[in-house]
Structure 1
Amino acid sequence: MWDNDLELKFIEFFQAEPILWDTKHRNYKNKNLNHDAWGRIAQLMDVPIPDLKKKKESLFASYRKYRKIVKDSYQSGAGENELYKPVWFAYEALDGFLSDGLTPKITINTQSRDEQPGTSTIISE
């Protein structure tokens, strides 16, 4: 039933419902509004919600796999022409709106060097 065109259409409808994927959305955790969003997609596609959720999990699993390979190729110190570029049909469609959400947050060390355990400061007079 699912072909590439139908999956891309699903991704398009899914992207239009940020409440389902944007963890910063103010109603992201609202189950009723989430259900309503899934209902809109189900109606547009004429596919039951459980089938849509299974497809989402499948697409996201593949996306995470390819995203990791891409990220690892950047960290390897590879040159621009050696960076991994996925050929999976749905990668760019998903990466266009998910890349920020799946990127680990940067941590900042708020301690100065003098405050860090194991360091000492020598004061001379």
Structure 2
Amino acid sequence: MSENEPLAQNFNERPPRQPPRKRQHHNKGQPRTPGSGRNKDSPAMTPSQYRDQIAVLSNQLRQAEKKLQQTEQRAEEYKQLAISRGDEVDRLQEDCINVSTQLQQLRAALASPPTPRG
């Protein structure tokens, strides 16, 4: 690197921020009319279209609520099943411990020689 080349700048330094540009308001002062804005191609809805739209959305809402209720009910059933299976597992573990204890006692009895009765 020669002495004439500038040193690498610190990459953590940022250039000074530019102030945000002011947005231009094209329709300034003009009232908003139905159909203006993003969906210029679609005209405003008629009252009957609004009613139809509300009916469709209400129906979807009812279906979603019913599905939610069914899902919550299934979740509760699974929870109860898990609890009952957990109890069953506890009983089986207890049985295993009991059988293991009996097995150790039998092994111990077999390992020791019988005492003569007399």
Same fold (TM over 0.5): no
Q: TM-score with structure 2 length normalisation?
A: 0.28
Q: TM-score with structure 1 length normalisation?
A: 0.26
Larger Rg: 2
* Larger fraction in helix: 1
Instruction: Select the structure with the greater relative contact order (CA < 8 A; seq sep ≥ 6).
Output: 1
